[in-house]
Amino acid sequence: MTTPQHPATDDGHHGSFQALMLGAIGIVFGDIGTSPLYAFQECVGSPHGVAPTRDNVLGVLSLIIWSLVMVVTVKYLGFIMRADNRGEGGIFALLALLPEKPRTPGRVRFTPVVVLVLVGAALLYGDGIITPAISVLSAVEGIKLVAPAFEHWVVPTTVLILLGLFGIQRHGTGGIGRFFGPVMVLWFAVIGGLGLWHLAHFPSVLAAFSPHYGARFFAHHGWHGFKLLGSVVLAVTGGEALYADMGHFGPKPIRYAWLGFVFPALLLCYLGQGALVLGHPQFARAPFFGMVPVGPATVALVALAAPATVIASQALISGAFSLTQQAVRLGYLPRVLIRHTSGSAEGQIYIPGLNWGLGLACIALVLGFKQSTALAAAFGLAVSGTMAITSVAYFAVIRETWGWSRSKSWAILLLFLAFDIPFLIANLVKFFDGGYLPVAVGSLFFVVMIVWKMGRTHLGDYFAERSPPLSAFLESLPSRVVARTPGTSVFLASSATGTPPVLFHHVERLRVLQERVVLLTITTEHIPVALRVGRVKVETIAPGVFRVVARCGFMESPQVPAMLAQAIEEGVLPVKMDDVTYYLGRETFIAGKMGKMGPWTESLFAFLNRNAHSAPLYFGVPAEKVVELGIQIDL
């Protein structure tokens, strides 16, 4: 058995341990921290729930408590967070830990684990659409207890809050991030205190800690009790955020914040709701807001819940941005416009197209479903599907990368799936009640990722088959080129070994070349951020011809001029930035029947390629220094 080669540490995370814990409480636990708004209510107060009897309440609470223990505490904090990629987490970071397998040229092979990870990543986009809608809607609905006439304003108010939420994304989280922690600390203190108050009046609810009540609940309700797991899983939404966001704070502050503050507050809140319903069954339809007297206290709780749900939504939106950036760098999505909103924080980015796509989808969900309880069915499937896929991917890592024994690896996988699979099946039952939403969204993103990866791979093979070996090409330059002009040509190439297609095409068509030629290849490393030392390597492969290989982490946006400037500054590249002209290729795809992809898939790939973010902007290249050369291709 071996240990992770890059264990997570808190080194490199700026600020004191207390500050990191505060930040983790504000960012990491927003999603799971606002689940008490609707999770217990869906189990005992919704049309598909159970009657609020003593045995039912204790059974539901037992299921929620042990789900938090086994899924969040044991699975994610105890095991999954050990699988870090240089301190970063997330489902694509988990994929990056797996060893790469050789590929036969001309064929695109997706291993079962890769396919599962792509499905999980696609479902996370569905989660990112549903979370802001259900969270904000459930918070605003609380005001109906004080003013029933306000019911008609719930949906418009929710839409306005969502518009504001997505509208401020362009400013980044840096300016408002310092307020996240204190707000969520207040939130957890309030919901924990309220829970403790009601628990003191009905301490018998503590019996729910016994798993006996959960087992008896299943024995009594049978299939209906099993289906209720689709609502119980709402209590553990946000478990993926613990893993995905650990690179921002480190695993230790997250674990301490969970065990020392967040977990106890959630337990008290759920137990308090159960105690309230046991004493006053009429509050089963709104147990969370029922914990305070109707009136000003309800308004105050709604006023606290609204920013808490916005913060929870913010974490999911930022996670979608990060997921997209990683997918682009790993070659699963086309280039998109990425704006960095902080000069010091690497992970603070803004993707305008994705932001407003998510925003419009969230608003459409609110307008279509109108109630948080109607959205709950759509919510659980995305969460449970991703959790099960994470378990399988983790199993592949501990077996293939860390070399754990078969018996130990299978024991861990079966333990995880013992919770993941029932949750998933229970949510699949609700497919036609709204569960189709994350599946539909996920299917769209999955197809796009598969087709884009296939297209880029076939395109690389196409150029590799038609471009001559670099050594032979350089030897033939004197006969191919009729004139050399002053200046430096920089040709961007996807491969660091062959002849760049754009260079070959340029020489064949124009028969003119500048005095100095730089062949620049950007390699995406399976680490989040490449170190500055050794980032750029330069090799002189012929008189006046230089091969430059620049390393870039999968969470970075490549900036070509900065990479060239570093090489010049280090004295390994004898060119001047003022003399540089960048040459890029622009492919037009015919989508005929003769290609390997087929007309349908190639047409989709061509559409994605046409609408990808401009290559010069993506690589940070000044538009006035770019020359693009076009070519028609049938893949």
The CA distance from 203 to 194, in Å, is 14
User: Is the domain of 224 the same as that of 280?
Assistant: yes
Q: Residue 148: its pLDDT value, please?
A: 80
The span from the first CA to the last CA of the chain, in angstroms, equals: 44
- Which residue, of 454, 475, 494, is where some domain finishes? 454
CB 206 within 8 A of CB 199: yes
User: Is the domain of 435 the same as that of 529?
Assistant: no
Residue whose entry in the numeric block shows the structure tokens 């217990």: 40
Residues of the chain with pLDDT under 50: 1-12, 14, 344
Strands (E), 287-348: 339-340
CB 532 within 8 A of CB 561: no
Domain membership flag for residue 166: no
Q: Residue 140: its pLDDT value, please?
A: 87
- Which residue, of 387, 420, 454, is where some domain finishes? 454
Domain membership flag for residue 259: yes
User: Is the domain of 46 the same as that of 193?
Assistant: yes
User: Is the domain of 502 the same as that of 421?
Assistant: no
Structural tokens at position 34: 């606002």
The CA distance from 597 to 464, in Å, is 17
Domain membership flag for residue 154: no
The CA distance from 620 to 338, in Å, is 11
Q: What type of residue is 558?
A: P
Structural tokens at position 263: 């977990």
User: Is the domain of 383 the same as that of 510?
Assistant: no
- List the domain range (segments joined by +) for residue 530: 467-633
Q: Residue 313: its pLDDT value, please?
A: 81
Domain membership flag for residue 336: no
> Helix/strand/coil (H, E, C) string of 558-589?
CCHHHHHHHHHHCCCCCCCHHHEEEEEEEEEE
Residue whose entry in the numeric block shows the structure tokens 């790939």: 605
User: Is the domain of 73 the same as that of 220?
Assistant: yes
β pairing state of 626-633 and 580-589? parallel
The CA distance from 478 to 544, in Å, is 13
User: Is the domain of 564 the same as that of 444?
Assistant: no
Q: For residue range 343-385, list pLDDT tens digits in order.
A: 545 556 788 999 999 999 999 989 988 887 777 767 778 888 8
User: Is the domain of 391 the same as that of 480?
Assistant: no
- Which residue, of 428, 454, 480, is where some domain finishes? 454
Q: Residue 530: its pLDDT value, please?
A: 83
User: Is the domain of 40 the same as that of 114?
Assistant: yes
Angle CA(76)–CA(79)–CA(80) in degrees, nearest 5? 55
Cβ neighbours for 44, distance < 8 A, ≥ 6 positions apart: 50, 51, 52, 56, 57, 60, 277, 284, 287
User: Is the domain of 575 the same as that of 627?
Assistant: yes
Domain membership flag for residue 176: no
Domain membership flag for residue 442: yes
Domain membership flag for residue 22: yes
User: Is the domain of 449 the same as that of 481?
Assistant: no
Q: Count how many domains the chain has.
A: 2
Domain membership flag for residue 357: no
User: Is the domain of 429 the same as that of 476?
Assistant: no
Q: For residue range 475-529, list pLDDT tens digits in order.
A: 888 888 898 899 999 998 877 777 888 898 889 888 899 999 999 998 877 677 7
Q: Residue 341: its pLDDT value, please?
A: 66
pTM (global) more than 0.95: no
Nearest to 91 by CA among 68, 113, 112: 113
The half-sphere exposure of 361 on its side-chain side, counting CA atoms within 13 A, is 19
Displacement of CA 406 from its chain's centroid (Å): 30
